[in-house]
Amino acid sequence: MSHDHHHHPRTSDRRALTIALTLIAGFMAAEVVAGLIAGSLALLADAGHMLTDALALAAALVAARLATRRPSGPWTFGLARAEILAAQANGITLFVVGVFVVYGAVHRLIDPPDVRGGFVLVVALAGIVVNLAATAVLARADRQSLNMQGAFLHVATDLAAFVGTAIAGALVLLTGWDRWDPIAGLLVAVLMLKSAWMLVRESGRVFLEGSPEGIDPAAVARALAADEDVVEVHDLHVWTVTSGFPALAAHVLVSPDTDCHGARRRLQHLLEEQYHLHHVTLQVDHVARRGQPVTLRRQ
């Protein structure tokens, strides 16, 4: 018995992604203009970093829209996993950016360039304001969605980067020591790599059809087998179609005199109440009687 409980991104989530994308893209454009006017390579480089954030948010928005499509043709679950694909892409992007930040920070620690602390501080404060607004918008979205988590982590790590840059710029102004800038970069890179690992790990778990976090298939099988009419449970599979959409399928054998339809409804209710599994397919059959003859059909 199955239920159509397909997960669809909320309209408010797509609106939040659109607002965040507009804020980040707008600030990126302003940085490009400021960098060209000031002749600042640092500003243009940071605008390139902001471009990766804008692309990540755009991918998350496209995936959220694709996930609303109803199942049709060969896509029996619709395109719900487009969100997981976007989350994995965001994780990989964060990882790549984090590695480049580490490389650049180590290079600057060895051979520190002259850092214009005041200029860095002003740009960083502007970045904090924009990213704080984008982070606040995304924080109100559905955080159970890996896609929304990926978008949030991209913007949140960017916010952390600007905070670190602002502190580094202030310390350079106060002490004149240029290595504060790469030290702040290394700390932000750690946050990036940690977030990247979480996104890649969780999206990989979905793609490899591992059981949802917090659901132990062995415990579920024991709970089903504990029913007085159940003789055997096998071929049990628990997986995640997309964020917020766990599913289960199993073959259950019940005693010969049991109402198999009643047993199925009872077991389904147990799965919904104890494990919050609403998309369930249970094949319930009677176990053969001990004295029941077995007939072999010849071809």
The CATH code of the domain that includes 17 is 1.20.1510.10
pLDDT at 3: 46
Task: Indicate if 85 and 166 belong to the same structural domain.
Answer: yes
Element (H, E) at 122: helix 117-139
Which of 207, 232, 251 lies at the terminal end of a domain, its last residue? 207
Task: Indicate if 107 and 62 belong to the same structural domain.
Answer: yes
Question: Does some domain include residue 152?
Answer: yes
Q: Is the pLDDT of residue 292 over 90?
A: no
As to burial, measured by CB atoms within 10 angstroms (0-12 exposed, 13-18 middle, 19+ buried), residue 110 is exposed
Number of structural domains (the chain) is: 2
CATH number at residue 253: 3.30.300.30
Question: Does some domain include residue 293?
Answer: no
Question: Does some domain include residue 295?
Answer: no
Which tens digit of pLDDT belongs to each residue from 123-178? 778 888 999 999 999 988 876 788 888 888 888 888 887 888 788 878 878 887 87
Q: Is the pLDDT of residue 297 over 60?
A: no
Task: Indicate if 227 and 199 belong to the same structural domain.
Answer: no
Q: Is the pLDDT of residue 290 over 60?
A: no
Question: Does some domain include residue 4?
Answer: no
Which of 153, 188, 207 lies at the terminal end of a domain, its last residue? 207
Task: Indicate if 57 and 195 belong to the same structural domain.
Answer: yes
Task: Indicate if 235 and 165 belong to the same structural domain.
Answer: no
Question: Does some domain include residue 294?
Answer: no
Which of 207, 230, 252 lies at the terminal end of a domain, its last residue? 207
Instruction: Tell me what percent of the residues of the chain surpass a pLDDT of 90.
Output: 33
Distance CA 243, CA 202 (A): 10
Distance CA 60, CA 86 (A): 6
Task: Indicate if 60 and 174 belong to the same structural domain.
Answer: yes
pLDDT at 279: 92
- CA nearest neighbour of 151 among 283, 19, 11, 287: 19
- CA nearest neighbour of 233 among 205, 273, 270: 270
Q: Is the pLDDT of residue 68 over 80?
A: yes
52 pLDDT band, cuts 50/70/90, is confident
Task: Indicate if 86 and 68 belong to the same structural domain.
Answer: yes
Task: Indicate if 121 and 52 belong to the same structural domain.
Answer: yes
Task: Indicate if 201 and 232 belong to the same structural domain.
Answer: no
Contact call for residues 54 and 24 (beta carbons, < 8 A): yes
Q: Is the pLDDT of residue 14 over 90?
A: no
Contact call for residues 170 and 128 (beta carbons, < 8 A): no
Model-level pTM? 0.75
Contact call for residues 250 and 282 (beta carbons, < 8 A): yes
**How many other CB atoms sit within 10 Å of the CB of residue 150?**
31
Q: Which domain covers residue 235, as residue numbers?
A: 217-286
Task: From residue 117, give the alpha-carbon distance in Å to each of 109, 114, 177, 192.
Answer: 16, 9, 10, 24
How many separate helices (H) and strands (E) can be counted in the chain? 8, 3
SS3 (DSSP) at 212:
coil
The residues pairing with 234 across neighbouring beta strands, listed in sequence order, are 251
